[in-house]
Structure 1
Amino acid sequence: MTESWATFGADLHLDLSAGRGLRAGLTEALREAARSGRLAAGTRLPSSRSLAADLGIARNTVAEAYAELVAEGWLTARQGSGTRVAERARPRRPAAPVPVRRAARRGLTYSLLPGSPDLGGFPRSAWLAAARRALAGAPNEAFGYGLDGRGRPELREALTGYLARARGVYTDPERIVLCAGFAQGLTLLARVLRARRVREMAVEGYGLDIHRNLLTRAGLRTRPLGVDGDGARTQELTAGAGAVLLTPAHQFPTGAALTPARRAAAVDWARTTGGLILEDDYDGEFRYDRQPVGALQGLDPDRVVYLGTASKSLAPGLRMGWMVVPPGLLDEVMAAQGMGDRASSALDQLTLAEFITSGAYDRHVRGMRLRYRRRRDELVLAVGDRAGVSGIAAGLHAVLDLPAGTERSVLQSAAWQDLSLEGLSAFRHPEASLPPREALVVGYGTPPDSAWTPTLAALSAALP
């Protein structure tokens, strides 16, 4: 069968109409494709006969262009191997600029950076079994474009039951909107708030700059609330803010739980001013010393938007999140949602629905709860009296309070131990009026089991 450029598997989009001869134009086009990396080193080119036929030029023209590029070293020609792009043609690509602090620390051997579960704990076998069952039982329409922006009804039904019994959330499947993680849900809600002419939003004085930046880019000014051992100081909420973002079950990153009085203050503020509470329940399932406190949403489902994800309980790579939206807000959320704001794939949604309804999700969470509790206990034992562990016994991270003036030196010492760590100061809102505090935010959920012991040893060596 005659080889054809059309079926060869590589498209060069060669421009031979640049006002020069055919051979010179072809030679330059091939040379530039190799130089720029469009033709990667080792790529096999079609025969001169095939390329000539597809370009509508003489075979000798192609052969002469190939020969010139072989002589220059851009191509190689060997009997039985054909004509290929030479290794020396590989382009040098400058490394993308990244913040020095992040780049250096992310590349260290050990990591206690917060925000990630133990990825090695992902339940591969149980998830695969659920995926097979979900695929076998999936209706044909599940493989279409999906007309309901809220996501698959099977998962919304499963989440309704799970959130009610595990987190005390009041909802029904019609009010659940699936999204590809917390950040996407927050972006969508910020869009809704702007459409409501909200200009200012309250946030906790300690929190993730990623979330604050999302709100800022949406046109919302963030005003920080004070944070102490009782959580966010919700009594500081004013009518000037149209919404507030809270982590009531386990303040991130300080680890405090919002007290009943401050929960009530937040709800009273929302009812009085017409404001909205956005509840980030990022790790509410993981409480080790008592039954987890129920979601704030249960106090007033009409004023609280509940946001949850599978990022901590399963894995962030699933890109799976959900919002429980008050009835009066649902139409606005759906109107603000674009095609690019849809949730993860239908098959992943069906798999998670099966994973929940089969009981596998509960079994997995119980197993991981035991694993993380053991790690937290070992962390407390390892640091001893050199650092005070603050916050409730929950989640996948702990805060280690340090003597005044030592946070930076401990971070430097950790880097010498080949350990990535984050200081509490990295999470402080730039406008927050908070008392001086130096501490480490230790993500004990991050290391795999195989690296846990040496990681803990590196932390111990870094502490004063």
Structure 2
Amino acid sequence: MVGTRATSPEGRRSTEGLGADLHLDHLDLRGRHGLRTSLMDALREAVRTGRLLPGAQLPSSRTLAADLSIARNTVADAYAELVAEGWLTARQGSGTRVARRAEPRRAPTPGSDRVALRRPTPIRTSDTRFSLLPGNPDLASFPRAQWLAASRRAIMAAPHEALGYGDPRGRVELRTALADYLARARGVYASPERIVICAGFVHGLRLIGRVLRARGVSTVAVETYGVPQYNDLLTETGLETPALPLDEGGTCTEGLRSLDTGAVLLTPAHQYPTGGALRPDRRAAVVDWARSTGGLVLEDDYDGEFRYDRQPVGALQGLDPERVCYFGTASKSLAPGLRLGWLVLPRSVTPEVIAAKGHVDWAPGSFDQLALAEFLTSGDYDRHVRAMRLRYRRRRDQLVAAVAEHAPGIRVSGIAAGLHAVLDLPPGTERSVIAAGARVGLALDGLGDFAHPSARPDSGRDGLVVGYATPSDSAWSGALAALCSVLPRS
């Protein structure tokens, strides 16, 4: 335990929130995860357990750094990231404080003004030579040799009972490895008992949809832009999917107060597909909504490992593990064909999801689960992600440079993270650019392909969602040249 005595910038003891020692129970200054990560974990735990109350003022970065004998920048970076995640707030002149939570209140029952519109039909041709469709990593870069070695080690060490039906939650080896990795890399509060292994995001969402319907929930709010198949899946489950507005600060979670909904599906760390991170006050607002109404937040953390120009934004789940269902997969970090995903669930939801999954539900095989567990614990997973992060960042930079050279009037956005970028197009040109791409053998998706059916045509943006991770290294230059050849020049 490390005790720090908070003072004012002038060195005098403050009378508001800074008079008591700030005890950081889990701060390991020699920890293998680094000083900043260790400090952030300790502060999260202090807030989560209630030792740091909402509104409590924290020591200045200078004071805390001096008390811990660490660099001031380390403390400042930790504070800044926790502000971005919604744990803390910072205002000029008032210092850094623990974020406040709204008072519980009931959401009013709204009317419905949804307008059903048909989504654009994707343009595909049989002679496609290049693909810049989002949603896939570079499959040619799958670490086959390392995966084979991990599989061999896992199979040789597997107990005989691994060949049986086993625990419907999945292999304990994988759940244990994931609990450690997610806490370290994504700030997720996880334990093996609260993790359920599933066959990708769709499988996990189907399970949660069953649970919500069994609970009597009829509506799940979604984002204005998202994966259409996910909305369709919820609809097939019998759930309505009203859309929340979206702006530069991310999804307008304040709108949940006007909806009679039991859950909300979000991509808070990297909105799909527009690319922004959910603003800190909106992260806090969605947690407040869930606490005050008993609702659930369904967090899709689909590409959390890939951040380039900013510090990683931790998972929303860390703010309230009892109100957030966390979804993760190996689809972007490794390959979607592995069919390996996971849910980190609130305690109250875990038994219901296990019951919905059952003992005979389709799920990844034991050996694949054991292989991923070995891949994680051996460090191969971290090494692969670091290598791919560098590779994807180079591609992103090449994409931005090529667009600036060949079509300088086009803005490229959503590039601080992830495996895709958004190219804003002149109004009314989206479908024609996609059609031009098809004529030169290039597969493209437009923003309109991801718009919610209720979105009004005049409220949308024309643009391309360019998956720069998708092509292999040998196809990348050709795909980029084909893209530049069809972009409007002015």
**TM range, normalised to the smaller chain?**
0.7 to 0.9
5 Å matches for 1:280-429? Answer: 280-384=300-404, 385-429=408-452
Aligned twin of 2:106? none
The 2-side partners of 1:255 and 1:351 are apart by: 32
Q: Is the 8 A contact 1:149 1:342 kept in 2?
A: no
Match of 1:226 among 237, 242, 245: 245
- Give aligned pairs, total: 365
Structure 2 distance, partners of 1:319, 1:207, is 21
- Partners of 1:400 and 1:440 lie apart in 2 by 5
Q: CA deviation at 1:334?
A: 1.2
Is 1:183 paired with 2:202?
yes
Runs of 4+ in 1 over 4 A off after TM superposition: 99-103
Normalising by structure 2, what TM-score? 0.73
Partner-residue secondary structure (3-state), 1:380: helix
Q: Quick one: which of 279, 285, 296 aligns to 2:299? A: 279
C-alpha contact (below 8 Å) 1:199/1:242 kept by paired residues? yes
Does structure 1 conserve the Cα–Cα contact (< 8 Å) formed by 2:221 and 2:261?
Answer: yes
Q: Residue 323 of structure 1 aligns to a residue in which SS?
A: strand
1:266-293 deviations in Å (ceiling 9; x for gaps): 0010011100000000001100012211
When the two chains are superposed, the root-mean-square deviation of aligned CA atoms in Å is: 1.5
SS of 1:136's equivalent? helix
| Aligned 1:445-464 pairs, distance under 5 A | 445-464=469-488
Same amino acid, percent of matched pairs: 64
| Structure 2 counterparts to residues 141-180 of structure 1, below 5 A | 141-146=161-166, 148-180=167-199
Larger radius of gyration: 1
User: d(CA) in 2 for partners of 1:345 and 1:108?
Assistant: 34
The alpha-carbon distance between structure 1 residues 289 and 100, as it changes in their structure 2 partners (threshold 3 A), is: closer
Q: Which runs of 5+ in 2 are unaligned?
A: 1-118
Instruction: Identify, as 1 or 2, the structure richer in helix.
Output: 1
SS at 2:348's partner residue? helix
Distance in 2 (alpha carbons) for counterparts of 1:411 and 1:103:
7
- Which region of structure 1 is more displaced relative to structure 2, 391-400 or 312-321? 391-400
Partner of 1:437: 461
The 5 Å alignment of 1:197-236 reads 197-236=216-255
* 8 Å CA contact 2:120, 2:449 repeated in 1: no
Find the aligned partners of 1:410 and 1:102 in 2 and give their Cα distance: 12
CA distance in 1, matches of 2:483, 2:380: 34
Cross-structure match for 2:139:
119
Q: Deviations over 1:380-400 (max 9, x none)?
A: 001112310112411110000
Instruction: Report the AA paired with residue 351 of structure 1.
Output: A
**1: CA distance between counterparts of 2:130 and 2:415?**
25
Q: Distance in 1 between matches of 2:223 and 2:430?
A: 21
- Cα distance in 2 between the residues matched to 1:103 and 1:246: 27
Per-residue displacement from partner, 1:319-346 (whole Å, max 9, x unpaired)? Answer: 0000000001111111212345342000
| Alpha-carbon spacing, 1:190–1:100, altered in 2? closer, same or farther (3 Å) | closer
**Contact 1:201/1:244, CA 8 A, preserved across alignment:** yes
Q: Which residue of 2 aligns with 1:268?
A: 288
Output the CA distance in 2 between the equivalents of 1:406 and 1:209. 22
- Which secondary structure state, in structure 2, belongs to the residue aligned with residue 221 of structure 1? coil
